[in-house]
Amino acid sequence: METMSEPVIEVTELTKKFGDFTAVDHVSFTVSRGTIMGYLGPNGSGKTTTIRMLLGLLRPSGGQGKVLGLDIESEAEAIRPRVGYMSQKFALYDDLTVRENLAFYAGVYGVKQADQRLAAVLAQIGLTEQQNERVKGMSTGWRQRLALGVALTHQPTLIFLDEPTSGVDPRARRAFWDLIYDLAEQGTTIFVTTHYMDEAEYCHQLGIMYQGQLLAMGTPDALKAETLQGSIWDVLVDPLMPALTALDDLPGVVRVNLAGDHLRVETAREQVRAEQIQAHLQQKGFGPETAVSPADPTLEDVFITLAGHGRTS
């Protein structure tokens, strides 16, 4: 049994190889009780493979891991009934109603006093009024909530959510994260993977994955403070690509990248001013309509800096 002081997840040098390809490369981290642990990275970075090892669905090629105090290799069968898992493809039965889906999984998990528990889950996920609707006719946002409800049916203390908001509209995403916060406040530990930078800001703890490697871990604010040592600027200029090349020549510029309709520039702290950036671009032939303004650092800045500075191989 896990104790209040024991990490809910503890991973050391966890590695998974498929032939010559290393999907997860010597990853180490711990997750404390009641934490919303975010695992941020693009598709193919090793996020889902990590979850599958933690659930005992994939055998690691190296390293060790414990979930709820249980070894992910030798005690995998004991882990799965005690955790909730919401996969990228919602495991729902389209021809069943909302309540029937929950009732099916309650039976699988051997939930006692199922009717009482199902009523509580329906209220928790906000689908009480929709409980008799067939799943096939529901919006993606409602299906997402139901998939979370399925993962909650047996009242697990730890829930794995694998890209839970992929393909869901922004309003439904925000409502879903409200549910996640409610669960964490009740003491449930959440391990959630995402490739959305804005969602990563909501996490208590965040690991940044790229090409199978865990580049950094910490709170979102700490990651920004520790990774980005300089100043960040938004530069409105036209055309973008020649301006990007031109700014590479300016002393003090650490990084330049495209950010939608403008450039995002990182400079060494207190070495470059907005006026210098503007003057440099004008000397390169860009017009006076060019605008440079200071910007707050984001997790996208953190990711680009980490992934682009030779931290991976």
Pairwise CA distance, residues 149 & 101, whole Å: 9
Predicted pLDDT at 313: 32
Tens digit of pLDDT at every position of the chain (313 positions): 444 457 999 999 999 999 999 999 999 999 999 999 999 999 899 999 999 999 999 999 999 999 999 999 999 999 989 999 998 777 899 999 999 999 999 999 999 889 999 999 999 999 999 999 999 989 988 999 999 999 999 999 999 999 988 878 888 888 889 999 999 999 999 999 998 888 899 999 999 999 999 999 999 999 999 999 899 999 999 999 999 999 998 999 999 999 999 999 999 988 899 999 999 999 999 988 899 999 999 999 999 999 885 333 3
What lies within 8 Å, CB to CB, of 258 at 6+ separation is 240, 244, 264
Q: Where are the domains of the chain?
A: 9-224, 229-296
Contact 233, 256 (CB under 8 A): no
Predicted pLDDT at 311: 36
Predicted pLDDT at 237: 95
Which CATH code of 3.40.50.300, 1.10.10.60, 3.90.1150.10, 3.40.50.2300 fits the domain covering 9-224?
Answer: 3.40.50.300
Three-class SS of 109-157: CCCCCHHHHHHHHHHHHCCCCCCCCEHHHCCHHHHHHHHHHHHHCCCCC
Predicted pLDDT at 1: 45
Predicted pLDDT at 229: 84
Entry field: residues in the chain = 313
Predicted structure pTM score: 0.88
Query: Is the CATH number 3.30.70.100 carried by domain 229-296?
Result: yes
Pairwise CA distance, residues 95 & 30, whole Å: 40
Predicted pLDDT at 269: 82
Strands 36-40 and 83-86: unpaired
Pairwise CA distance, residues 65 & 29, whole Å: 9
Contact 256, 244 (CB under 8 A): yes
